[in-house]
């Protein structure tokens, strides 16, 4: 698509050339016609680097992964309990907000673990919560050993989308109660501040990118639905975004022509994202560089934690807590990612017709989101669903096919 700025520049060059030709007596037999009205200029503040298309094709899919998010209606479990002669501090049950809230949640867990200033601490789990708990415990002065069956690359945390989503299925409004909002805000602000340390590092473990929400036609012109009452959501997931509006820019409706997207309505915001391959490598390097140890070990019951030599344990098993702690309050929320080959020239995310796309350094993440927060709730199947992947990639292919045709 030719931008308005380029169109104006071409018109200026053509007009100047035409004036020169007229002055060459005999070379131009009639004056050039006056140019017609051009497209309305896009305000300077709305311009961005070129938005290039994603190659949404199944033959570019190199993996399909599934993650089970550990949701608790009451919110994350952050209490401490004695298990044998050990003190176990729990840190699990963050729904779709594990990476986003990890530093804030782990700060609370480490504060409880260090109450009696132990010299050694054990951390169970090597995912987002386990690694951040371990690093913070090191910073508090403890010698730390992580015990885990899987390292980060094989843990469920590695299959997350990588977006800053601090209240994504974090709790149910009524079950969490009115006081949880304050605790959530503390975790979100602590995490956000800590993530600033990782901006600008080699590999871009954490970075800011734009997100676009596309809809067509506009809601005001949408055809009326059939005479049928809308189905109410089955669960009232808590929404605490208003508490941290000062941290991230709001969604804004863009003027027509501000992007090459072919939809009638385009909204944009900017958000942090975690390039988990780089970010996870950075966390592992920080932990090991700080003298941390990792021991491969699998636990089958909470009582086994009392057999560790460390008598203070931070328990971060993620969805594994359902079996390890016999905690049936942990509900699986299935999320599948279809991975497209990376495109370095694509540096944004899109929400379109129930599909989310986020370009990361390690691949282009495509995820089905139809049904909103209810999608995948209570589903514990971890086998990839290729039909779901084909449908999600197909919707993106339709979007970019329209975008390409409109630019031709």
Could you state, in order of their start, the residue ranges of all structural domains in the chain? Answer: 58-222+236-407
Tell me which residue of 211, 216, 209, 224 sits closest to 256, measured CA to CA. 216
Q: Which residues of the chain have pLDDT under 50?
A: 1-39, 226-229
Note the pLDDT of residue 47: 62
Tell me which residue of 199, 74, 77, 95 sits closest to 156, measured CA to CA. 95
Note the pLDDT of residue 238: 96
> Which pLDDT tens digit goes with each residue over 136-175?
999 999 999 999 999 999 999 999 999 999 999 999 999 9
Two tokens at 149? Answer: 């069956």
Two tokens at 309? Answer: 């030599």
- Residue 70 CA: distances (Å) to CA of 105, 182, 263: 14, 21, 35
- In this structure, are strands 312-315 and 265-274 parallel, antiparallel, or unpaired? unpaired
The pTM for the full model equals 0.85
Two tokens at 318? Answer: 């993620």
Tell me which residue of 330, 320, 293, 328 sits closest to 309, measured CA to CA. 293
Listed in sequence order, the DSSP H helices in 58-210 are 98-113, 128-139, 173-176, 180-195
Quick one: CA torsion of 401, 260, 56, 394, rounded to 10 degrees?
-50
Two tokens at 74? Answer: 């009451």
Note the pLDDT of residue 48: 66
């Amino acid at each position: 698509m030719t931008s308005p700025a380029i169109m104006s520049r071409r018109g200026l060059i053509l007009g100047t050339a035409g004036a020169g030709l007229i002055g060459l007596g005999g070379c131009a037999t009639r004056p050039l016609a006056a140019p017609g009205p051009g497209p309305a200029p896009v305000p300077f503040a709305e311009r961005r680097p070129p938005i290039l298309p994603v190659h949404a094709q199944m033959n570019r899919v190199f993996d399909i992964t599934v993650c089970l998010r550990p949701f608790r209606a009451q919110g994350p479990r952050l209490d401490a309990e004695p298990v044998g002669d050990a003190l176990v501090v729990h840190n699990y049950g963050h729904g779709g907000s594990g990476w986003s809230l990890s530093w804030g949640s782990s700060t609370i867990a480490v504060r409880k673990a260090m109450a009696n200033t132990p010299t050694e601490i054990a951390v169970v789990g090597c995912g987002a919560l386990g690694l951040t708990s371990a690093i913070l415990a090191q910073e508090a002065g403890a010698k730390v050993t992580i015990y885990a069956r899987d390292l980060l690359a094989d843990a469920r945390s590695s299959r997350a989308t990588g977006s800053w989503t601090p209240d994504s299925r974090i709790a149910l409004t009524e079950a969490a109660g009115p006081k949880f909002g304050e605790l959530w805000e503390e975790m979100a602000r602590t995490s956000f501040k800590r993530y600033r340390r990782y901006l600008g590092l080699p590999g871009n473990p954490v970075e800011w990118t734009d997100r676009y929400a596309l809809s067509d036609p506009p809601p005001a012109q949408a055809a009326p639905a059939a005479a049928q009452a809308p189905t109410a959501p089955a669960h009232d997931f808590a929404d605490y975004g208003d508490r941290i509006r000062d941290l991230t820019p709001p969604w804004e409706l863009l003027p027509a022509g501000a992007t090459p997207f072919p939809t009638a309505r385009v909204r944009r915001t900017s958000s942090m994202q975690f390039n988990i391959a780089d970010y996870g490598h950075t966390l592992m390097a920080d932990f090991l560089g700080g003298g941390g140890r990792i021991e491969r070990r699998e636990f089958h019951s909470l009582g086994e934690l009392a057999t560790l030599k460390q008598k203070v344990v931070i328990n971060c098993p993620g969805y594994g807590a359902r079996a390890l702690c016999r905690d049936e309050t942990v509900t699986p929320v299935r999320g599948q990612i279809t991975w497209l080959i990376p495109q370095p020239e694509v540096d944004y995310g899109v929400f379109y017709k129930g599909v989310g796309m986020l370009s990361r350094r390690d691949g282009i993440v495509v995820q089905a989101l139809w049904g909103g927060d209810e999608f995948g709730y209570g589903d514990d199947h971890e086998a990839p669903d290729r039909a779901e992947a084909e449908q999600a990639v197909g919707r993106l292919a339709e979007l970019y096919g329209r975008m390409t045709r409109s630019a031709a």
